[in-house]
Structure 1
Amino acid sequence: MPRAIMHMTQRDGALDLLKWLALLSMVLDHLRYVGYSLDLLYVPGRLAFPWFCLAMAANLARVRTVTTDGQWRYLGWLLLFSALSEIPYRMYIPDHDTLNVLPTLVMGLLVARGWQHGPVQSRLLAVVALVLAALFPQRLMFGFFGVLLPLAMLLVIQRPWYFGLLPGLVCLAANQWQVLYSAAWFGSGAAILGIVVCLIAPFSGLLLLRHAQGIQPPPMRRWAYALYPGHFLVLLALRQLIA
């Protein structure tokens, strides 16, 4: 079998592992709203978004996703579950002031694709996404820099390990909530650790992709999109149960 075909058909176990760990980090982060004082879960929660962005960059970098059909399907699934997730997100997260995270990933995908591929259509969509992110950063989870993070990951994914520091800075900028820096200034351990994790999350994800090739976790396929709105409903039920 030609090497290119093998690359297109074999599962990437390290990539599946990264997705599962990102999902676990996200669930841990959202457990903070279940009804108990679990502020320390904020720290592992800082891994979720950059690792999802890295998984997106890894998918874009693979040979099979160069096909136009595959790219549009990827975007279509994200758009569909962006809409389906908004109501469960608003039901579970108190005092929400942004959309759920999937619109940020949709716009990040458009920007990364526009950079990666030459068609005018892709580049125009990337420009539109950047303009919208610049105009309405307060409505997007992780804001303007969150939209840039998948592109930052794509730019370094095949470079030496120390280039992982660049998306680390973008990740920190995406988490620039005033309360985070204020809390760190006043000595909050969770805030200080959160800043550190933001800086090292892309680097650690890149190491995982490169050195966990022998691991074969259950493959995360299209059904996994439903886990995002689904986990909000499960945690909401748990909060009602323990209230």
Structure 2
Amino acid sequence: MHTATHLKQRDRALDLLKWLALLSMVLDHLRYVGYSADWLYVPGRLAFPWFCLAMAINLARKPAVATSRQWRYLGWLLMFSAVSEIPYRMFIPSPDTLNVMPTLALGLLVVLGWQDRTLQARLVAAGAVVLAALFARQLMFGFFGVMLPLAMLLVIRRPWYFALLPGVVCLAANQWQVLYYSVRQGNEVAMAAIATCLIAPWLGLFLLRHASDVKPPPMRRWAYALYPVHFLVLLALRQALA
């Protein structure tokens, strides 16, 4: 199976992946609306790896150098990192990390440094890795979350079983120690979450390779605003249900 067609023109399967990642994220955050729904943690494990895979696909279109388009990509991530932080903290009770956008921004820098062999790009990527290591506790999904877009990029054109590599990175990014402890206690949600982390990259690649006939609405730059807005909508829902 190949992904060449996904690197040439607008890819409807990629749009589908982004919409499903957004849905998974909303389902995950519904756990904080007020009802006991711990099982939503399981589909929520799909969101971050699928956003990382979408990033890797977009960057693989022009792998040679860091183009102005890719730096604009970074600019959008940084802008919405700032815009999203207040809604994120309003909705998530006592958050112990920043919102997910800074993790994606650092991951983007790592991928750009891998693709662009110039000294400047490599130094910027190295700086991103150092920041990820130093501030892993403050970053959502930590150090391994920053490395996940690169892990995704490395397996895009490879056979499906190579997706186990980003699957392991995805699991490491999702507090595997806590999940493993819960599994030892017989927690079925934790068992399902571990399995979901491991197969999420493969499942995303499967969708990209076999869902080309699906035609969801294109997800363009306006979709960045959905991240902070969904926090505000869920916050209003929680207050309405209180």
2:13 and 2:214 in contact (8 A); partners too: yes
What is the rounded CA distance, in whole Å, between the counterparts of 1:128 and 1:64 in structure 2? 20
The TM-score with structure 2 as length reference comes to 0.95
Q: Specify the alignment match of 2:68 in structure 1.
A: 69
Q: Specify the alignment match of 1:55 in structure 2.
A: 54
Report how far residue 180 of structure 1 moved: 2.1
Match runs of 1:189-200 below 5 Å: 189-200=188-199
What is the rounded CA distance, in whole Å, between the counterparts of 1:24 and 1:227 in structure 2? 11
What is the rounded CA distance, in whole Å, between the counterparts of 1:157 and 1:36 in structure 2? 38
What is the rounded CA distance, in whole Å, between the counterparts of 2:241 and 2:172 in structure 1? 36
Report how far residue 64 of structure 1 moved: 8.8
2:80 and 2:101 in contact (8 A); partners too: yes
Q: Specify the alignment match of 1:134 in structure 2.
A: 133
Unaligned runs of 5+ in 2: none
2:64 and 2:116 in contact (8 A); partners too: no
What is the rounded CA distance, in whole Å, between the counterparts of 1:43 and 1:174 in structure 2? 14
1:60 and 1:66 in contact (8 A); partners too: no
What is the rounded CA distance, in whole Å, between the counterparts of 2:206 and 2:7 in structure 1? 20
141-150 or 118-127, larger mean C-alpha shift: 118-127
- The alignment's C-alpha RMSD in Å is 1.7
What is the rounded CA distance, in whole Å, between the counterparts of 1:179 and 1:215 in structure 2? 37
2:66 and 2:116 in contact (8 A); partners too: no
Report how far residue 7 of structure 1 moved: 6.3
| Identical aligned residues as a percent | 74
Report how far residue 66 of structure 1 moved: 5.3
Report how far residue 167 of structure 1 moved: 0.4
Look up the equivalent residue of 2:73 and give its one-letter code: Y
Q: Specify the alignment match of 1:148 in structure 2.
A: 147
Residues 1:83 and 2:87 are matched in the alignment = no
Look up the equivalent residue of 2:49 and give its one-letter code: P
208-217 or 160-169, larger mean C-alpha shift: 208-217
Look up the equivalent residue of 1:103 and give its one-letter code: P
Q: Specify the alignment match of 1:227 in structure 2.
A: 226
Look up the equivalent residue of 2:147 and give its one-letter code: L
What is the rounded CA distance, in whole Å, between the counterparts of 1:162 and 1:81 in structure 2? 34
Report how far residue 21 of structure 1 moved: 0.3
Label 1:164 to 1:134 Cα distance change in 2 as closer, same or farther (>3 A): same
2:98 and 2:139 in contact (8 A); partners too: yes
The number of residues matched between the two structures is 238
Label 1:65 to 1:49 Cα distance change in 2 as closer, same or farther (>3 A): farther
Q: Specify the alignment match of 1:34 in structure 2.
A: 33
208-217 or 35-44, larger mean C-alpha shift: 208-217
2:113 and 2:122 in contact (8 A); partners too: yes
Report how far residue 121 of structure 1 moved: 2.0
Report how far residue 155 of structure 1 moved: 0.4
Match runs of 1:197-212 below 5 Å: 197-212=196-211
SS at match of 1:95: coil
The TM-score with structure 1 as length reference comes to 0.94
Q: Specify the alignment match of 1:158 in structure 2.
A: 157
